[in-house]
């Protein structure tokens, strides 16, 4: 499997051109204050500030044009390194790069480029506006990539769907000693249970009824317990099967403390059957059974908050997660796997649906991220011992319109409907924060917290 690498990302909207990043780089790399010698350059463009920085490209032009073999991409770190001994100072690389990522340092007469300061770039923490981020999730993808993919290749998801990502990553982490239940919905629709006599996974998998997933898994798990065998009972269910018709068996299994890891992929509707409304569909959303017409415009009720209902079952573990925040998701998945050894673990993953929500197929992660940044969905985790803790700050959200406008299912909303949704977001935030503030016990250290992920010190719960 190919490797993923860490990267420095730039958010132009947050940059005011102060130059602190360039000064930090110059100090780190030259020992001086001359920003001309910085390997990161911020320049005013026609629509805002632009970045000149080495992208550590996968197919680097600089390497291709170098006649001396002085530039090479390191397979482990992904960094394009420059070998001063081999360089003949022809400067061809500076012409080859489209990003101005390698340039002449006039003080030395030689080229200079970013080497990410050995994985800890000086520029990123220097930015006072958070416009620069060092994304380190690559480590997770690489670690996961080394585990066996337990799904069959070529699942039949819609283009841009992130559920396949979720399925593959989850099963890799849970491992082969698993019995997987995928009730009717997108997950079996993609082929998890197999077609034409072929299985869709390398672990035992079945297609329970929409209504009985948790009960059937409970029987499986209990029988293996009787036999003295350690087997993980995993459900990957949709929001409809969990919050509507399947809710009774889910609730019953949670009440009995069945040792199940129940993951809900919440795409806010019955997307596999043609995008019908579920109780998880948000207010105002178009679905094929809450259409937009003269008399009504989308769903007229608010969504049922299933994860909070599961908190009220006092499950061994409850958490919400998003595929836009994979490090957080992995952290929670690890905790859920452990919790499911002794009790009911519930993991609710918000999963934007490019087909049903009507947004371009390359925007899935962006939509997922906006949902979190606007507090439209909230990331938290709960255990009976430690209560509920927010996984990231919710005090400075973007307006909910930033989320609503990126997809078609909310296109018809009236100002009153937008107001209703914004009010609901505020109400939900206050409600969850209130529970969170009553939870005084400290959160355990995150598995990934030491690796500088998005969930570093700055995002500690503010309870």
Partner 1 sequence: MSTATLERSATKPRYIVCEGNEAAALAVALARPDMVSVYPITPQSSLVEHVAKLVADGRLDADIVDAEGEHSVLSVLQGASLAGGRTYTATCGPGLAFMFEPYFRTSGMRLPIVMTIVTRDGITPQSVWGGHQDAMTVREVGWIQIYCESVQEVLDTTIMAFKIAEHHDVMLPVNICVDGNYLSYGSARVEVPEQAAVDAFMGVKNVNWHAALDPLRPMGVDPLTGGAGGKGPSAFVRYRKGQCQGMQNALRVITEVHEEYARCFGRSYAPLVEQYRMEDAAIALMTIGSMTGAAKDAVDEARQAGTRVGIIKIKTFSPFPIDALVAALGKVEAIGVVDRSVAFRWNCGPMYQETLGALYRLGRHVPAASFIGGLAGADMTVEHFHRVIRDTEALRHGRLSAGPIWLNEND
Q: How far apart are CA 102 and CA 22, in angstroms?
A: 15
Q: Is 202 in the site for partner 1 (CB under 8 A)?
A: yes
The secondary element (H helix, E strand) that includes residue 187 is helix 186-189
Q: What is the pattern of x (binds partner 1, CB under 8 A) and - over residues 261-300?
A: ----------------------------------------
Residue 310 contacts residue 318 (beta carbons within 8 Å) = yes
Nearer to partner 1, 272 or 364 (CB): 272
Q: For the CB of residue 147, give the shortest distance to partner 1 in the complex, in Å.
A: 16
Q: Which residue number, 65 or 220, has a Cβ lying nearer to partner 1?
A: 220
Phi-psi region of 154 (alpha: psi -120 to 50; beta: other; left: phi over 0): left
Residue 183 binding partner 1, by CB under 8 A: no
387-390/380-383 β-pairing: antiparallel
Decide: is 219 part of the binding site for partner 1 (CB under 8 A). yes
Q: Is 434 in the site for partner 1 (CB under 8 A)?
A: no
Choose, by CB under 8 A, the member of 26, 70, 203, 315 that binds partner 1.
203
Give the residue with the Cβ less far from partner 1, 90 or 152. Answer: 152
Does 193 participate in binding partner 1 (rule CB under 8 A)? yes
Measured from the CB atom, the residue of 176 and 360 that comes closer to partner 1 is 176
Residues 6+ apart with CB under 8 A from 209: 183, 184, 216
Q: Is 222 an interacting residue with respect to partner 1 (CB under 8 A)?
A: yes
Binding-residue pattern over the window 313 to 352 for partner 1, x denoting contact by CB under 8 A: ----------------------------------------
Which residues fall within 8 angstroms of residue 69, CB to CB, at 6 or more apart? 83, 86
Q: Which residue has the tokens 């890799």?
A: 172
Beta-carbon contacts of 118 under 8 Å, excluding residues fewer than 6 positions away, are none
Residue 415's φ and ψ, nearest 5 degrees, are -55, -35
In whole angstroms, how close is the CB of 217 to partner 1 at the nearest point? 6
Which CB atom, from 247 or from 403, has the smaller least distance to partner 1? 247
- Count other Cβ atoms within 10 Å, centred on residue 393: 12
284 Cα distance to chain centroid: 25
Q: Is 179 in the site for partner 1 (CB under 8 A)?
A: yes
From 87-95, 171-179, 393-401, 441-449, give the range in contact with partner 1 by CB under 8 A: 171-179
Alpha helices in 227-261 (DSSP H): 239-243, 247-256
Residue 456 CA to residue 446 CA, distance in Å, equals 9
Distance separating alpha carbons of residues 29 and 164, to the nearest angstrom: 42
Q: Which of 140, 215, 324, 404 binds partner 1 (CB under 8 A)?
A: 215
Q: Select 220 or 309, whichever has its Cβ closest to partner 1.
A: 220
- What number of chain residues touch partner 1 (CB under 8 A)? 46
Residue 44 and residue 392: Cα distance in Å, rounded? Answer: 32
Give the binding range for partner 1 (CB under 8 A) out of 64-72, 81-89, 96-104, 251-259. 251-259
Work out which of 67, 197, 293, 445 binds partner 1, going by CB under 8 A. 197
Residue with tokens 């390191």: 74
Per CB under 8 A, residues contacting partner 1 are 176-179, 188, 193-209, 211-212, 214-227, 231, 248-249, 251-253, 255-256
């Amino acid at each position: 499997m190919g490797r993923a690498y860490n990267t420095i990302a730039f958010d132009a909207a947050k940059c005011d051109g102060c130059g602190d990043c360039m000064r930090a780089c110059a100090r780190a790399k030259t020992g001086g204050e001359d920003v001309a010698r910085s390997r990161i350059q911020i320049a005013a463009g026609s629509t805002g500030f632009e970045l000149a920085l080495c992208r550590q490209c996968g197919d680097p032009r600089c390497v291709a044009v170098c006649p001396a073999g002085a530039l090479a991409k390191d397979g482990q770190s992904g960094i394009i390194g420059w070998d001063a001994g081999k360089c003949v100072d022809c400067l061809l690389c500076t012409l080859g790069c489209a990003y101005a990522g390698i340039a002449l340092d006039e003080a030395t007469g030689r080229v200079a480029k970013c080497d990410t300061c050995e994985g800890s770039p000086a520029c990123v923490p220097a930015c006072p506006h958070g416009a620069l981020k060092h994304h380190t999730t690559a480590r997770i993808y690489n670690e996961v990539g080394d585990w066996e993919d337990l799904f069959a290749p070529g699942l039949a998801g819609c283009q841009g769907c992130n559920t396949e990502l979720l399925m593959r990553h989850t099963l890799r982490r849970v491992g082969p000693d698993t019995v997987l239940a995928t009730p009717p919905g997108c997950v079996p629709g993609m082929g998890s249970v197999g077609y034409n006599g072929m299985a869709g996974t390398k672990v035992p998998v079945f297609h329970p009824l929409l209504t009985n997933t948790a009960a059937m898994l409970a029987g499986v798990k209990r029988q293996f317990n009787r036999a003295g065998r350690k087997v993980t009972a995993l459900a990957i269910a949709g929001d409809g099967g969990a919050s509507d018709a399947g809710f009774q068996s889910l609730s019953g299994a949670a009440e009995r403390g069945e040792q199940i890891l129940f993951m809900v992929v919440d795409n806010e509707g019955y997307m596999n059957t043609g995008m019908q409304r579920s109780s998880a569909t948000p207010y105002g959303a178009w679905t094929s059974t809450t259409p937009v017409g003269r008399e009504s415009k989308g769903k007229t009720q608010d969504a049922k908050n299933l994860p909070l209902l599961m908190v009220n079952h006092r499950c061994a573990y409850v958490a919400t997660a998003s595929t836009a925040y994979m490090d957080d998701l992995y952290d929670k998945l690890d905790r859920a796997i452990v919790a499911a050894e002794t009790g009911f673990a519930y993991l609710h993953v918000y999963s934007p649906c490019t087909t049903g929500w009507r947004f371009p197929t390359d925007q899935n992660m962006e939509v997922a991220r906006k949902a979190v940044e606007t507090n439209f969905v909230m990331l938290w985790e709960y255990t009976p011992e430690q209560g509920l803790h927010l996984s990231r700050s919710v005090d400075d959200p973007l307006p909910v319109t930033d989320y609503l406008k990126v997809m078609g299912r909310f296109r018809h909303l009236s100002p009153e409907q937008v107001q209703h949704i914004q009010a609901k977001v505020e109400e939900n935030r206050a409600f969850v924060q209130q529970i969170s503030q009553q939870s005084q016990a400290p959160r355990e250290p995150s598995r990934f917290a030491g690796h500088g992920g998005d969930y570093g010190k700055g995002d500690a719960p503010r309870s």
